[in-house]
Amino acid sequence: MSAQEKHTTRVAAGLKASINNPNVSEDARERAADRLESIEGANSDQHQTRQLAGYKATLHNDRTSAQAKEHAREVLEAAGYTVEPGPGLSPSEHQTHVLAGYKAALHNPRVSEEAKQHAREYLQEHDTL
């Protein structure tokens, strides 16, 4: 568990304690409940994003079975993702777009350090960094 995840877990625990503490005012309880709801919502969004990223990785992993790839494709399509490259897009063009996306991630301030590290590793594996 990362330091950020531990911090979030501890903040959530404190908010839950505030909600259940009889010595806390009703206004403070409401604020704690609102904040707890926003924390839990952000965590579930992040969890879902990571799950979908795992399914995307499954599609490109040579060591996964055809059955696992089919399941990943179904899950991604159900979530609204286009699994196959666009029409008229050759495999080399698709790979160029993928590499460009990883390069862009390195310069995007909204991308986490973990994601940037993954992008660096991917680009190094493909001799483009």
pLDDT for 87 equals: 66
For residue range 71-121, what is the model confidence (pLDDT) as tens digits?
A: 888 888 877 777 766 667 777 887 888 888 889 889 988 888 988 898 899
Average pLDDT over the chain, rounded to an integer: 83
pTM: predicted TM-score of the whole model, two decimal places: 0.38
CB 78 within 8 A of CB 107: no
89-to-85, 93, 106, 123, 125 alpha-carbon distances in Å:
6, 6, 24, 21, 23
The span from the CA of 102 to the CA of 117, in Å, is: 10
Residue tagged 């806390």 (tokens): 24
DSSP 105-126: HHH-TTS-HHHHHHHHHHHHHT
Where along the chain do its domains lie?
A: 3-79, 91-126
* Rg over CA atoms, the chain: 20
